[in-house]
A and B are shown apart, each in its own frame.
Chain A
Amino acid sequence: MKDKSRRWWSRRDFLRSAATATVVGAAGVSVFCRDGAQTQPAKPSAGTALPKRPVPDRARVILVRDADALDAGGKPRAEVVARMLDQGVAALMGESSAEAAWTKLVKPADTVGIKSNAWRFLSTTPEIEGALRKRVLGAGVAEDRVAVDDRGVLENPVFKRSTALINARPLRTHHWAGVGSCIKNYIMFSPDPPSWHDDACANLAGLWDLPAVRDKTRLNVLVMLTPLFHGKGPHHFDPRYTWQYRGLILGTDVVAVDATGLRILEAKRRDFFGEDQPFATSPKHIRVAEEKFRLGVADPARIDITRLGPMEGALI
């Protein structure tokens, strides 16, 4: 907390850097804030009323793992990840079958956008996207009212008239936000994504009050097949910092989903580095999502985890 310098990038300095990001926030410094911030009517700022929705006492997430989720080359096996999704959704909705569960999530009259993530190094994966799309269609939604997109959501006609969103992306460390997870996945609904980077992206949960998004999300899927647990810069990816976790975290409470993924990533970093290894940038936006935006439950003590499949090496 004493050191205000950021990203001097020695491994030892990482010990100090989570506190650093907090100081950045406390100092009120806008990090790479572009003028687009003023064009963000829904972006929280001084004078903007914050949502008064109640935060539930408890939240529930489903952690599904399958040893066969990846093939020998580390690529997802389509039929296995589809099965994992089915198991997770059924458990989440308290149904005995995925079909029945999906009819609770989306209705035939819905127009459904499946928000994925297209980062080249670690994407949502076509296998997950395909499995979600298939289930949405199976729930009776017409084919021309379902779309999968990431960077084109603001122009995509299905997303523009969507009544329901399915949010699916992989978990990874992130240069500005500490971690990139489901809350952050809606940044492409903003016409000026960099304007959300202020203060370690603390206010990302404000994205969820954008008109294109608000109250539409039916399901969050945090893809934990090969999460990325360490990064060295904005354009950095090293496959040695991924591992085959072979899991998915599902939930309707996006904050609880992200908070659970974060715990696993923290545990992996402890495991790998041999000691607590704070993120180069604090992923405080997850905590802020509950405390300031009241979007969901971030406190692990109030999150119930239903575990499905083998839990060896689950790190939680």
Chain B
Amino acid sequence: MCKRSIRIPLLLTVGGLAFLLVAGVLGALAAPPAGISVPSGDPPDPASLLPGQALGYVLQDKDGVYTADTLHELIDGGAEVYRSFHVRRVVSRRYGKPGSPDILADLFDMGSSRDAFGAYHHDIRDGKDATAGVESDMAGSSLSFWKDRYFVSLVALADTPDTRQAVLELGREIAARIRGTGERPEILRLLPRVGLQKERVSYFHDWTYLNTRHVIADENLLLLDEETEGVLARYRDEAGKPAQPGKGSRPSHLLLLVRYPTEERAKQALVKFLAGYLPGADRQGIARRKDGKWAASQATGDLVVVVLDAAEKPDIGKLVSEVQRARSR
């Protein structure tokens, strides 16, 4: 009996180590290269990511569950933003505590980390980092963050020290329950660093959304659709001014990168954009517009690079080279 009782744990230990070794090797082989977005796989029930209680706040009503088609019932104006980022499902939960203001928690399953990033960055983010999720924004008793494929919003209906603590606690608990991390959209890596105003970067998929960020034209001149992704970034000039445009002043330029499924699609988009937005462009794709600002566009591989609102004639060739270098890294 005694020998047996020793052997079984020993066998389990050896077997367990062997299993861990094999699993580790297989895991290492299956691990994606650094920088590649990790798909989340089958998502858990979103409601399971919301805790039942925290700091005396407990679940009040039945959860609200919304899809892309019903999200307007939750958000009074603006559901289109989340639809443009392919929102899958939203769970909304109300927490309450006697004598304290309620806290509302909304968890958006955006389907991918890049769209969670996009949804999060649609709003002004001028609060403090709350170390919840990949990026977070805490202002008073409102906390937003994104992690993996989820964008999360927590709001207390009144701002007190107690609600701030409870919102923070709930937010961190939700973030801990989200097992994946998720990557920022890879296209952001291609943005040249010099002069980039990191807080002024918008990620998008479709033309109407892009037009809410910067009005270009009614017609979809860049042939944006479900298969494209883009980033619009604001740059200060190389002398470092102006970092924040004041009244009536302008940023030094905007840079727009759009990635297409094929090089052919990128070329088609460039032709359409030059014809529709820069009809007088030179051979490099540079033109001065009626408002006196310069704009330019070129294609490189499956990307279209666009400079908008430049105060001076842009060196589009240099920018394209920088994008290419970033891509090869």
A residues near B (Cβ < 8 Å) are 2-13, 15-16, 23-24, 27-34, 73-74, 117, 119-121, 151, 174-177, 180, 193-194, 197, 232-240
Cβ of B212 within 8 Å of any chain A Cβ, yes or no, is yes
Beyond A10-B244, A175-B78, A176-B77, whether A235 also contacts B153 by CB under 8 A is yes
Q: Shortest distance in angstroms between A236's beta carbon and chain B's nearest beta carbon? A: 6
Are B158 and A239 neighbours in the complex by a CB distance under 8 Å?
A: yes
Are B75 and A29 neighbours in the complex by a CB distance under 8 Å?
A: no
B126 contact from A11, A197, A237, Cβ within 8 A: A11
The answer for the CA separation of A59 and B158 in the assembled complex, in Å, is: 36
A5 contact from B101, B199, B214, Cβ within 8 A: B214
A119 contact from B76, B80, B82, Cβ within 8 A: B76
Beyond A6-B215, A32-B80, A176-B77, whether A233 also contacts B122 by CB under 8 A is yes
Cβ of B104 within 8 Å of any chain A Cβ, yes or no, is yes
Q: Shortest distance in angstroms between B307's beta carbon and chain A's nearest beta carbon? A: 14
Cβ of B139 within 8 Å of any chain A Cβ, yes or no, is yes
Q: List 11 A-B contacts (CB under 8 A).
A: A2-B248, A3-B250, A5-B213, A6-B212, A8-B213, A13-B244, A24-B211, A121-B155, A194-B80, A234-B79, A239-B101
A10 contact from B106, B124, B213, B247, Cβ within 8 A: B124
Q: Shortest distance in angstroms between A143's beta carbon and chain B's nearest beta carbon? A: 27
Contact with A along B225-251 (1 / 0, CB 8 A): 000000000100000000011111010
**Chain B residue at smallest Cβ distance from A280:** B124
The answer for the CA separation of A33 and B206 in the assembled complex, in Å, is: 12
Q: Which residues of B lie under 8 Å from residue A194 when comparing CB positions?
A: 72, 79-80
Beyond A12-B246, A234-B78, whether A193 also contacts B211 by CB under 8 A is no
Cβ of B125 within 8 Å of any chain A Cβ, yes or no, is yes
Q: Shortest distance in angstroms between A274's beta carbon and chain B's nearest beta carbon? A: 14
Cβ of B254 within 8 Å of any chain A Cβ, yes or no, is yes
**Chain B residue at smallest Cβ distance from A25:** B215
Are A233 and B213 neighbours in the complex by a CB distance under 8 Å?
A: no
**Chain A residue at smallest Cβ distance from B293:** A2
**Chain B residue at smallest Cβ distance from A184:** B77
**Chain B residue at smallest Cβ distance from A5:** B214
Q: Shortest distance in angstroms between B310's beta carbon and chain A's nearest beta carbon? A: 14
Q: Shortest distance in angstroms between B89's beta carbon and chain A's nearest beta carbon? A: 15
Q: Which residues of B lie under 8 Å from residue A7 when comparing CB positions?
A: 124, 212-213
Beyond A29-B215, A236-B123, A239-B156, whether A5 also contacts B254 by CB under 8 A is yes
Beyond A34-B80, A197-B77, whether A234 also contacts B218 by CB under 8 A is no
The answer for the CA separation of A190 and B75 in the assembled complex, in Å, is: 16
Number of interface residues of B (CB under 8 A): 50
Pick the most buried of B75, B80, B153, B234: most chain A CB atoms within 10 A of its CB: B80
Q: Which residues of B lie under 8 Å from residue A193 when comparing CB positions?
A: 72, 77
Contact with A along B298-326 (1 / 0, CB 8 A): 00000000000000000000000000000
Beyond A29-B217, A239-B158, whether A15 also contacts B140 by CB under 8 A is no
**Chain B residue at smallest Cβ distance from A232:** B124
Q: Which 10 A-B pairs have the closest CB atoms?
A: A234-B78, A233-B123, A9-B124, A232-B124, A32-B80, A4-B215, A175-B78, A240-B140, A119-B76, A5-B214
The answer for the CA separation of A17 and B275 in the assembled complex, in Å, is: 29
Are A176 and B78 neighbours in the complex by a CB distance under 8 Å?
A: yes
**Which residues in window 93-122 of B have CB below 8 A to A?**
101, 104, 106, 122
Are B211 and A10 neighbours in the complex by a CB distance under 8 Å?
A: no
Are B244 and A197 neighbours in the complex by a CB distance under 8 Å?
A: no
**Chain B residue at smallest Cβ distance from A1:** B248
Beyond A32-B80, A120-B104, A234-B75, whether A9 also contacts B215 by CB under 8 A is no
The answer for the CA separation of A2 and B247 in the assembled complex, in Å, is: 10
Q: Shortest distance in angstroms between A6's beta carbon and chain B's nearest beta carbon? A: 6
Beyond A30-B218, A235-B106, whether A10 also contacts B126 by CB under 8 A is yes
**Chain B residue at smallest Cβ distance from A26:** B215
**Chain B residue at smallest Cβ distance from A177:** B77
Beyond A30-B208, A193-B72, whether A234 also contacts B77 by CB under 8 A is yes
Q: Which residues of A lie under 8 Å from residue B139 when comparing CB positions?
A: 238, 240
Q: Which residues of A lie under 8 Å from residue B189 when comparing CB positions?
A: none
Contact with A along B252-287 (1 / 0, CB 8 A): 001000000000000000000000000000000000
**Chain A residue at smallest Cβ distance from B94:** A120
The answer for the CA separation of A74 and B157 in the assembled complex, in Å, is: 10
Pick the most buried of A6, A10, A117, A194: most chain B CB atoms within 10 A of its CB: A10
Are A238 and B158 neighbours in the complex by a CB distance under 8 Å?
A: no
B211 contact from A29, A120, A180, Cβ within 8 A: A29
Pick the most buried of B76, B78, B213, B246: most chain A CB atoms within 10 A of its CB: B76
18 further A-B pairs in the complex, CB-CB below 8 A; given A7-B212, A7-B213, A16-B245: A2-B291, A4-B215, A6-B212, A10-B244, A16-B248, A29-B215, A33-B208, A174-B76, A174-B77, A175-B77, A180-B77, A232-B123, A232-B126, A235-B123, A237-B155, A238-B159, A239-B141, A239-B157
